[in-house]
Structure 1
Amino acid sequence: MTAPRSNRKFLGRLSLPERTFVVDALRTETVGGVLLLVAAVAALIWANVPAFGGSYESVSHFHLGPAALGLDLSVAHWAADGLLAIFFFVAGIELKRELVAGDLKDPKAAALPVVAALCGMAAPALVYTAVNAGGGGSLAGWAVPTATDIAFALAVLAVIGTSLPSALRAFLLTLAVVDDLFAILIIAVFFTGSLNFAALGGAVAGLALFWWLLRRDVRGWYVYVPLAVVVWALMYNSGVHATIAGVAMGLMLRCTTRDGEKRSPGERIEHLVRPVSAGFAVPLFALFSAGVSVSGGALGDVFRQPETLGVVLGLVVGKIVGIFGGTWLTARFTRASLSDDLAWADVFALASLAGIGFTVSLLIGELAFDGDAALTDEVKAAVLLGSLISACLATVLLKLRNARYRGLAEEEERDEDADGIPDVYERDDPAYHLRMAAIHDRKAAEHRRIARDMAADVAGGTGAGDGRPA
């Protein structure tokens, strides 16, 4: 007779190594997210203030690059196809790490974020399709509201000061990683035009060489960076979106440690490249993508045009329905149950936060409506508005639970024995209890000494005014 399977708690406390990785990763993403917010605001001001005299458009459409190599691109094009390759390279490393050492390694643990992410992409696409099928709009933008921008979401958390416990932050990060994976697949499958098979073959050969060098443990940035640039250029000229090259190279890096290694090559490279991605590449992309004309009439048109209304409702409503519904169904029809420290209101708030779609949504909007500049700008405005509404809704919901989050975060950080390891990870360790008993004994002895000194002062008539401890 087989033993009954125990229930699994999801959104429970992370292991210490996983918590350390999540904290380090999200710290960089939070800083990058704040820069992303600044870049987006700067783009809107630059594009809409008459004093700048249309310079935003002039700079965005200024062309540079070697035409003979098919790379005579506008500044905005370089930002979207070039700089975002760095962002997707980091996303590839994150995905590889999650697959070999993170939550996605265990199929049971991976089921929840994968189902939540898939539902969180399917529901916005269905909402967009329903709005446009009924309103006679274009179905080309169905993928625009499917993406979640983790950096922007974390920037909102940084601004409102909510101390989310590490389990919720890890869930948000894993959601974004899976979200990025399927966004990459959407771009590769649905937004690839006519193929140049010679260039594609060259890109594949370059990726094979990249993989071979990694397997041979060849080191040196001067080997890999030029090769990566060549692979990117070939991928761009092949007709496949150039960011796919970044993802492919990120997935090839080894993310497991060997004997004598403190960190895997993937973690080391991610540590070096993530600040470049979060602090430079993504904000610069935002600067040259978020600059759309905004006016009261234009914002009103967002709610009257099916394409833009579908994007807004997809981000605000679709994400909540998809992520919350997928999570609840997983808990309802499996043996998983919610952590005792959290409530379903927390999952709902996190689902609303995931409605912030910025970087990838703007990119897909450009690809979906390529050739229609006016509609592209309107869809970008819808992405900005939908993300703003989601951010405001999430802020209200998270603020309502902020006191609870603060208590959980403080409990995770408490380290009374000052050994560098939070106490919650040591409570089953007998040595921890011996150290805590010794600390309590020292404190009790100190209190007894102070009490004796006070009693002696009173007996001698000196009181507490002579500077002795009181």
Structure 2
Amino acid sequence: MITRVRSELTRYLRTETVGGTILLIAAGVALLWANSPWSHGYLAMTEFTLPVPPLHLDLTLGDWTRDGLLAIFFFVAGLELKRELVVGELADFRRALLPIIAATAGVITPALIAFTVGFGVPGMDRGWAVPVATDIAFALGVLALTGSRIPASARVFLLSLAVVDDLIAILLIAVLFTSAISLLWLLAAAACFAGWALLQHRRINTPVVYLPLALIAWYALHEAGIHPTMAGVALGLLTRVRPDEGERESPATRWEHSLQPLSAGLCVPLFALFASGVPLDGKVVGELFTDRLALAIMLGLLLGKIIGIFGISWLAIRLGVAKRPVGLGNRDMFALSVLGAIGFTVSLLVAELALADVGDGSAAELAKAAVLVTSMAASLVGSALLLRRGRVHQSLRDADTQDDQGSAAETVQGQAVQGQGEGSTK
């Protein structure tokens, strides 16, 4: 019975809808806790240091969830993206090109809008980078929760777009906010990636070899000054997705089935719990719609993402440069572009890095509040649009089913009439 219960729990957690629900509940708890009379307890929890002295890692619990646990989520996302690139929706080059183009425009347009609106405001020389990133975990969570009835190609498009978006944002952090990148540690990470690819090529499947290699790659990127969650994406993309002859499933499929419950049920919700607790006092709320820094971030994140993602996607499809995802229309693409305006992890990180020294830290807190409010608005609007589109797609599927049933009934009836006619003739 215990085995059966555990199996059911694992299957339950594998469903994306449940993962999205847990994620949003954790985010809501964090937001309420951080703005309650017990907010000091939340701050103490997030700032509690859990060091690893032998490795010189002096990270808080918040850092461990953002840099450590989220790497597992990125690994699962990398596995899914690799599968789609090799044997799925993105195997078509022009379909694979669309999320890359959309992600690039979804970075450039918010940056231009934020820089224009906030031109001359203290901190905007680097604060323009705050609204460039889409939070892959939250965006996919909202899509799983409210967009389950739209075609699966929507998830593939949003996943691909968000991964490329985050890669660009991480590169911006490395260029703008990293004083020095350690070339030696970067080479060590590259060696780990090469070793992973070689082991996959040699068809070595034991986890005893891969787990230490993944940990070393994560640590090497951390010491190199690059966001270590990128190790998860890189290793996922280097994993084999085609099963060999006689092999029941590929390593990518096997690892995704094993790690997806852990990612959906623990890693991502814990990340949401530690990342979403942004204080929203009366002073901050009052400045959100009057301060040019906050307006620049909100307009850049909301309008910039929608214009950049939807506008360039529509243009690329219209010009024949890229193909539209299977089963999606313009309204579906617009709803997904609204989800692109959900920015948590990287946007909050950039706000801390870019504005920590502006106004004794008050600018950074205002920027975080702007990111949070905009992300909440994008979540609500995007959810409403997805629910509407889901009903439309369900109606179309129901109509197709009725047509198929009607055609089958007519065929059977016609055969029956034909049989009766032949009997009469005989």
Give the Cα–Cα distance (whole angstroms) in 1 for the partners of residues 150 and 174 of structure 2. 34
Q: Deviations over 1:22-57 (max 9, x none)?
A: xx9x9744332222211111111221211x261111
* Aligned equivalent of 2:250: 264
The CA distance in 2 between the partners of 1:168 and 1:412, in whole Å, is 20
Partners in 1 of 2:345 and 2:77 — Cα distance?
13
Aligned partner of 1:381: which letter? A
Change (3 A) 1:443 1:365: farther
Residue in structure 2 matching 1:41, options 12, 28, 44: 28
Cα distance in 2 for partners of 1:368, 1:414 equals 57
Equivalence map 1:63-462=2 (5 Å) = 63-157=49-143, 160=146, 163-334=149-320, 343-369=329-355, 373-398=361-386, 400-410=388-398, 436=408, 440=412
> Residue 454 of structure 1 corresponds to which residue in structure 2?
none
Aligned partners of 2:81 and 2:159 also within 8 Å? no
Task: Please report the RMSD computed on the Cα atoms of aligned residues, expressed in angstroms.
Answer: 3.6
Q: Does the 8 Å contact 1:70/1:237 carry over to 2?
A: no
Q: What's the secondary structure of 1:64's corresponding residue?
A: coil
- The secondary structure found in structure 2 opposite 1:63 is coil
Cα deviation for residue 381 of structure 1 reads 1.6
Post-superposition Cα deviations, 1:273-317, rounded to whole Å, max 9, x if no partner, equal 233223222221221121121123312222333333222112211
**Which range moves more in the overlay, 316-325 or 365-374?**
365-374
1:394-420 deviations in whole A, cap 9, x for unaligned?
344445555422213546888979xxx
Is the CA contact 2:94–2:323 (under 8 Å) kept in the aligned structure 1? no
Is the contact made by 2:153 and 2:328 (CA closer than 8 Å) also made in structure 1? no
- In structure 2, do the counterparts of structure 1 residues 147 and 53 end up closer, same or farther at CA, with 3 Å as the change threshold? closer
The worse-fitting range, judged by mean Cα deviation, of 140-149 and 117-126 is: 140-149
Whole-Å separation in 1 of the counterparts to 2:54 and 2:74: 26
Partners in 2 of 1:262 and 1:111 — Cα distance?
31
Greater Rg, structure 1 or structure 2?
1
Letter aligned with residue 25 of structure 2: V
- Asked if structure 1 preserves the Cα contact closer than 8 Å seen for 2:293 and 2:367, the reply is yes
Amino acid corresponding to residue 175 of structure 1 in structure 2: L
Cα distance in structure 1, aligned partners of 2:329 and 2:232:
38
Identity %: 46
Offset of residue 253 of structure 1: 0.9
Supply the distance in 1 between the matched residues of 2:183 and 2:35 (Cα, whole angstroms).
Answer: 42
Q: Distance in 2 between matches of 1:299 and 1:444?
A: 73
Letter in 2 for 1:386: T
Maintained 8 Å contact 1:137/1:306: no
CA distance in 2, matches of 1:339, 1:67: 48
SS in structure 1 of the partner of residue 119 of structure 2:
helix
Unaligned runs of 5+ in 2: 1-10, 418-426
Deviations 1:165-209 (A, max 9, x none): 334444333333433443344344444432344444433333333
Equivalent residues, number: 405
Residues 105 and 402 from structure 1, CA distance in 2 versus in 1: closer, same or farther, beyond 3 angstroms?
Answer: closer
Give the Cα separation in 2 of the matches to 1:247 and 1:275: 18
CA distance in 2, matches of 1:212, 1:162: 38
1:338-375 CA-to-partner distances (Å, cap 9, x unmatched) read 79976533332332232222333334434444567543
TM-score (norm 2): 0.81
Q: Secondary structure at the match of 2:275?
A: coil
Q: 1:386 to 1:201 in 2, by over 3 A?
A: same
Q: What is the letter of the counterpart of residue 286 of structure 2?
A: G
| d(CA) in 2 for partners of 1:411, 1:220 | 49
Q: Provide the rounded CA distance (Å) in 2 between the counterparts of 1:181 and 1:414.
A: 45
Task: For structure 1, list consecutive stretches of 5 or more residues without a partner in the other structure.
Answer: 1-23, 418-422, 424-432, 446-470
